[in-house]
Structure 1
Amino acid sequence: MIPDELSWRARAPLPLPRGRPRGRWSAALAVAAALGWAVTGTGARPGALIAGRIGGVRLLRAFAHPDLAPAFLRLVGRAVVETVQISLSGLLFAVVLAVPAAVPLADNVGGPSLLRTAARMYAAALRGVPDLIWALLFVATIGPGPGAGTLAIGLHGGGVLARLGAEQLEAVDPAPVEAIRLTGAGRFATAALAIVPQAAAGLTSLLLYQWECNIRTSTVLGFVGAGGIGQELASSLRLLRYADLSTLVMAVLALMLVAAVLSRLARRWAGAAA
């Protein structure tokens, strides 16, 4: 066999095993059937929007005439400030809860297996309960208000940040980590000197993203009495005050836009975005 033929055979792609296309078609049909079953079960059909067109038109007309009375705008401003306070306080509590678990969870830290198992269970327990359920529990415990929303966001966010923070720590360049270990440094020194500094930009981006999520979440939690602008939204919906609802929705959109711009600027300053 001549060398050119050998090189051609080496470059030639290996034949796919038989039965794989049939398996892919079966998987695609199974996914399509599952999606069709889900859509049918929820009743999410265009006809539902057509049937509710009268209420939709009434809502859109009210949205075109928001309530801009000075007294109501002051109420909206206080609700926006409270939402920001909930998001920042919840982020602080989440970081306090996440740091003790994120470092042991990272594989490159090399923590004891028992500690890693405990940290994994701890983080899973925090993020396994939805923040809405946490809010309901805290509203029943300490009463309605921003305190319940802050604690709910902090607990759920602590579990999320622990898991995602550990992944950021694991994604660093292993060469500096091994170099520090060769000097005889222990786990804590290796994490502090080689792992965390490399992951600082990614961790900063993660914290800023979590803050944006906290603002959105605090808006939803207000519907169960956890304070913030969501509580005003729920009140306007119950009373069918669509003009007030229009003003509140615009305030939420403006708040999210400002948060996104600030987060982008902070990422650039921290070197986490180009």
Structure 2
Amino acid sequence: MTPEELTRPWPPPTPKPAERGAPPTPVPSAVPRRRLLRWAAVGAILVLLVWSVQGTGVSVGALIDGREGGLHLVRGFLHPDLSAAFLADVGSAVLQTVQISLTGLLLAAPLGLAGALLIAGNVGAPGWLRGSARAGAAFLRGVPDLLWALLFVATIGPGPAAGALAIAVHGAGLLAKLGAEQLEAIDPAPVEAVRLTGTGRAATAVLAIIPQARAGLASLLLYQWECNLRTSTVIGFVGAGGIGQELAISLRLFRYDELSTLILAVLAMILLVDQLSRVIRRRMGAAT
């Protein structure tokens, strides 16, 4: 071994990539591709929005062409009909609307809560029964309440009964889904503790699941009542009774002064019920 080999460092230094004669392979950057996809998505959304606006025919020119009808409507709104006879009819229609909403809630609550118990995963219903309940609830809430009202009007005739049944059927589907979410959001520890004692599914639901979710379920029922009031106003246009039916009549006859009075009555009713529901929720929260 020569003196040069003895003084050479060991291990020998690794040559750098440049010294090997081969340049480093450039790593392709994903930033331009992501930017291109982002701009493509934005362009697709803009095209979709423009297509939607063109399909509906919304334009400033249409509003300008219809200004005469709009001004006539505004003049009627500024002079509501406050005669005693018409106010009596409005009061009767408001009371009927409240009756429709409460009856619909009364019929929907047991069906919806029963469906919620079957759908909730922590209750432990058999798979086939849980799937059937979920499909049934999806069907009930999937059919619009206005279509339910048309079906019941065709079946039993126009009037508040058709409106109450339409609200009940649609509301049952909503309560089943939202109620199941309330039941599944509880603390699982007490439920497991009760099950360890050998308690059955039904008793576990009554003793450990429903008591924890009762405040949320009660709040859900109050919210459903508010929705029933708004819905009963709309379904009245197809003959399902309530103040919506009076609105439809006044609108067809171009009695905008009566329409103004009815709209003010609807706003007052909804604001009053909303305030009442808020007070009840606050007291329930304080109690729990």
TM (normalized to structure 1)? Answer: 0.89
Matched, 1:97 2:111: yes
Q: Which residue of 2 aligns with 1:198?
A: 212
Q: 1:95, 1:158 within 8 Å by CA — same for their partners in 2? A: yes
1:193 Cα shift? 1.6
**After superposition, where does 1:81-120 map in structure 2 within 5 Å?**
81-120=95-134
Matched, 1:234 2:269: no
**After superposition, where does 1:9-28 map in structure 2 within 5 Å?**
19-28=33-42
1:26 Cα shift? 3.2
Matched, 1:56 2:76: no
Q: Which residue of 2 aligns with 1:257?
A: 271
Q: Aligned in 2, Cα 1:44/1:116: closer, same or farther, shift over 3 Å?
A: same
Q: Which residue of 1 aligns with 2:150?
A: 136
Which letter does structure 1 place at the counterpart of 2:230?
Answer: R
Q: Which residue of 1 aligns with 2:94?
A: 80
Matched, 1:212 2:212: no
CA distance in 1, matches of 2:269, 2:80: 17
Matched, 1:243 2:257: yes
Secondary structure of 1:108's counterpart equals coil
CA distance in 2, matches of 1:65, 1:229: 19
Q: Aligned in 2, Cα 1:31/1:197: closer, same or farther, shift over 3 Å?
A: farther
Q: Which residue of 2 aligns with 1:10?
A: none
CA distance in 2, matches of 1:102, 1:216: 24
Q: How many residues align?
A: 260
Structure 2 unpaired stretches of 5+: 1-28
CA distance in 2, matches of 1:175, 1:26: 48
Q: Which residue of 2 aligns with 1:167?
A: 181
CA distance in 1, matches of 2:207, 2:220: 20
Question: Aligned-residue CA RMSD in angstroms?
Answer: 2.0
Which letter does structure 2 place at the counterpart of 1:30?
Answer: A
Which letter does structure 2 place at the counterpart of 1:184?
Answer: G
Per-residue CA deviation, residues 97-131 of structure 1 (Å, 9 max, x unaligned), is: 21221101001111110110110121112112111
Matched, 1:45 2:59: yes
CA distance in 2, matches of 1:57, 1:18: 54
Secondary structure of 1:109's counterpart equals coil
Q: Which has the larger radius of gyration?
A: 2
Q: Aligned in 2, Cα 1:128/1:62: closer, same or farther, shift over 3 Å?
A: same
Q: 1:221, 1:230 within 8 Å by CA — same for their partners in 2? A: yes
Matched, 1:146 2:160: yes
**Percent identical across equivalent pairs?**
65
CA distance in 1, matches of 2:216, 2:38: 36
TM (normalized to structure 2)? Answer: 0.85
Q: Aligned in 2, Cα 1:272/1:259: closer, same or farther, shift over 3 Å?
A: farther
Q: Which residue of 1 aligns with 2:3?
A: none
1:272 Cα shift? 8.3
Q: Aligned in 2, Cα 1:182/1:21: closer, same or farther, shift over 3 Å?
A: farther
Structure 1 unpaired stretches of 5+: 1-14
Per-residue CA deviation, residues 201-250 of structure 1 (Å, 9 max, x unaligned), is: 21112111111111111000010000000000000011111110110000
More off after superposition, 242-251 vs 125-134? 125-134
Which letter does structure 2 place at the counterpart of 1:94?
Answer: A
